Structure 1
């Protein structure tokens, strides 16, 4: 029997150690209180089960008994309960109270169990704690176990009530609580009722497995596409497996017609109500950054052919591109055109406002900020695909005002794409371009998660970005 208990306890200790490593790895990616609390739980289970295995093989002594009591009997159930508080509590005060409760009982209980004298005989069976401890350690453990059982019951009821009227976050929290709370209560019951050693070892090992299941199992998708009536064609976007236990208040989305997949494909996916109509009359309104509508007079100089840029309203400063210098073959700066508010600062394209102009941007400008979280090792492939897409946008989309792909210095696996369009008609045309459909298709294998924010422009200053030239 002693060998059987030792094998069960050793297997549970190995499982607890593996679970601890998995939780630590996930904590590096996602900082959360419940992960920290359950790391303490699984580490304590590993120590407690290890002490049980050694005691059933070599015999228990004061040291192995204290390790089992402090780690397995005190810390493991206590921090399991603290972790559920951190998981389910929505108020910061409740989370802080959980930390204070766990830290205070750990400090007081650990000191008492480590310095209180033990009496009695030890053997190769799990000792009866009531026959070893004095009055203070015994009643301390009973008080802690009572608090743990009460906390687990409350957590179970809260999780079930929220699940009945909640979302996927509440469903995942309920699934975890339904597994962990009964297992924790059964483990505490084995301590209070002094059940035989094999059952105690099995329950402690089962608690490690329950934490592993609750944290490492596949999670429900948390993007906003669960509300989509008709997702865009093509492979489904990659889902983010993280986000477990986090809650965000839903925000109402505007009722806009769906657009085809492109760089902002999630915006197209969560829109509903295809109308099949576009307001081309919006094109007759004020230009992107305050330039007047209508054709440009013949005396306004256009960009020279060697630079071949699309007529998007881009202004080329003379100090950057050498306007007016013979070696670049560009015309000299022309005088200002008063009716167009254009200073003689360089070569101007049609529809351009002056650099530093105070005209308020058009209210029709439509923008997107898209945050991509990439798969490990896919950064170079994504950057190459994005560069090719930007080149195609630059040469074929005159109404795309800004299209920039950013890297994030502090997060190597993130890319941020910033887009501005003359209006939503321009954005609709942008989404239908072949290079955007290619971008949406080929990035699926590279992207782990996508978050999209729709923008409007209140104030702006736009000048050409410096470019790298090879001489």
Structure 2
């Protein structure tokens, strides 16, 4: 009776977190969330079968459903989601999906059709006493692959985090939680634990998978995220307008398709925005939201807009004190056919930085002439504190999460400001 009660409570909890995870996966369309949703469904079915079996007695259908859910689907798709989350090469992710789908289909057919042996009762049946050699081999194979994949993913993430990889450092705790869930799944479905402990292990695994999945997604205030320019609608952004930043607008104008250009490899801006559209409303001299960079660029003929007489000195004054400036160049290699989706995310990111990051001096997304799948971000920050504040911004975290499925490879170059041409004043060097 105790095992039945625990199983029913665990089933209720597992169904709840499964529904929440499926809802989030349907909203965000992230493949690792979809894979972990299959894990949650498998655990819920297994716990439900255990609860009914403890009350009414196990039969062939309940036993097969329990094994399919906890011993097969849960570990395989848990490992698949982990690989999808951290793998940075599309070939690795594709191979993982191919293996998981094919292995699951073959194993389901065998586990459903293979004859059972022994008598079933209200006691928790053990796979070794009920299945023949082939189903047991498939279950063991699923567990071995899952454990190795989870251990390898956790180790790689920890190693990258030790190398100051920010993305890996942020994913380390969620990945550790999901890896612990994998250990609980394997131990709870092998038949080695007593019935109450097996139920607790599977229920705990469902909770850890859900919590770990939520930790991998940037946390946003669903009702108030427009303040950060998520939708860029016409509603005012409370708080930021009070500080003088303009609200972001709806749907950017897409960049025109570039004509063939013999200057392959050169950088270009997709479409320069009018300087007037980027102007701070309260600035007397009219510098843009990057504190004078846009005005100076317009003076040089890059912005496409007229410049007031005071624009040059105001821009230079706004960019004073940049001896401690730092920057970053990020080179993205995109998957074929994902350019438009990535560009929409990049445009939203630039708009959000324009609206809420006054100490981000330059934030530009370049296309590469002759390289349609390459995008280059150039970012310049007033100082290290501004750079650190930028990395904590919710709109950046959202961009990193949503752009992952469009990117084949990423290269990051950290910069410090050296000698610079107007509008960026060069820092003083000893002995000059």
Normalization by structure 2: what TM-score? 0.55
Counterpart check, 1:450 vs 2:352 = yes
Q: Contact 2:49/2:66 (CA < 8 Å) preserved in 1?
A: yes
Gaps of 5+ in 1: 223-235, 242-259, 266-362, 371-388, 402-418, 433-446, 457-471
Q: Against the structure 1 CA distance between its residues 423 and 39, is the aligned structure 2 distance closer, same or farther, given a 3 Å change threshold?
A: farther
User: 1:67: which partner in 2?
Assistant: 65
Within a 5 Å distance, the mapping from 1:9-408 to structure 2 comes to 9-192=7-190, 194-217=192-215, 261-263=244-246, 366=275
Aligned pair partner of 1:422 in 292, 306, 313: 306
Q: CA contact under 8 A between 2:150 and 2:179: conserved in structure 1?
A: yes
Q: C-alpha separation between the residues in 2 aligned to 1:75 and 1:132?
A: 19
On the 8 A contact 1:221/1:239 being kept in 2, the answer is no
- Retained in 2: the 8 A contact 1:70–1:110? yes
Contact 2:70–2:185 (8 Å) recurs in 1: no
Q: Is the 8 A contact 1:399 1:422 kept in 2?
A: no
Residue 364 (structure 1) shift: 12
Mapped to 2, the partners of 1:240 and 1:43 lie a distance apart of: 35
* CA distance in structure 2 between the partners assigned to 1:201 and 1:50 by the alignment: 10
Q: Look up the SS of the partner of 2:352 in the other structure.
A: strand
> Relative to 1, partners in 2 of residues 1:9 and 1:62: Cα closer, same or farther, differing over 3 Å?
same
Deviation at 1:219, TM superposition (A): 5.9
Checking the alignment, whether the CA contact within 8 Å between 1:120 and 1:132 is kept in structure 2 is yes
Say whether the 8 Å CA contact 1:37–1:80 is kept in structure 2. yes
Q: Distance in 1 between matches of 2:13 and 2:304?
A: 52
SS in 2 for 1:100: helix
Task: Sort the Cα spacing of 1:367 and 1:106 in 2 relative to 1 into closer, same or farther, 3 A.
Answer: farther
Question: Residues 420 and 126 (structure 1 numbering): CA distance in 2 closer, same or farther, change over 3 Å?
Answer: farther
**Could you tell me how far apart the structure 2 residues matched to 1:364 and 1:103 are?**
46
- 1:217 is displaced (CA, Å) by 4.3
Structure 2 Cα separation of the partners of residues 209 and 240 of structure 1:
32
String of CA shifts for 1:249-277, please: whole Å, max 9, x gaps.
xxxxxxxxxxx742289xxxxxxxxxxxx
C-alpha distance 132-365 of structure 1, shift in aligned 2 (>3 A): closer
In the TM superposition, what is the alpha-carbon distance from 1:181 to its structure 2 partner?
Answer: 0.7
Counterparts in 2 of 1:14 and 1:240: CA distance versus 1, 3 Å: farther
* Structure 1 contact 81–148 (Cα < 8 Å) conserved: yes
* Structure 2 unaligned residues grouped into runs of 5+: 231-242, 249-271, 289-302, 319-347, 355-362, 367-432
Q: Secondary structure at the match of 1:450?
A: helix
- The structural deviation recorded for 1:82 is 0.5
Q: 1:454 to 1:221 in 2, by over 3 A?
A: farther
Structure 1 residues 219 and 72, CA gap change in structure 2 (3 angstroms): closer
CA shift in 2, pair 1:261/1:160, >3 Å: farther
- Summarize deviations over 1:284-317 as a string: whole Å, max 9, x none: xxxxxxxxxxxxxxxxxxxxxxxxxxxxxxxxxx
- State the alpha-carbon separation in 2 of the partners of residues 106 and 57 from structure 1: 29
Alpha-carbon contact 2:154-2:179 (below 8 Å) kept = yes
Q: Give yes or no for contact 2:174–2:216 (8 Å, CA) kept in 1.
A: no
Tell me, in whole angstroms, the C-alpha distance in 2 between the residues paired with 1:221 and 1:204: 27
Quick check: 1:60–1:124 contact (8 Å CA) kept in 2? Answer: yes
In the TM superposition, what is the alpha-carbon distance from 1:426 to its structure 2 partner? 5.1
More helix by share: 2
1:148, 1:364 → 2: CA distance? 50
Q: TM-score, length-normalised on structure 1?
A: 0.50
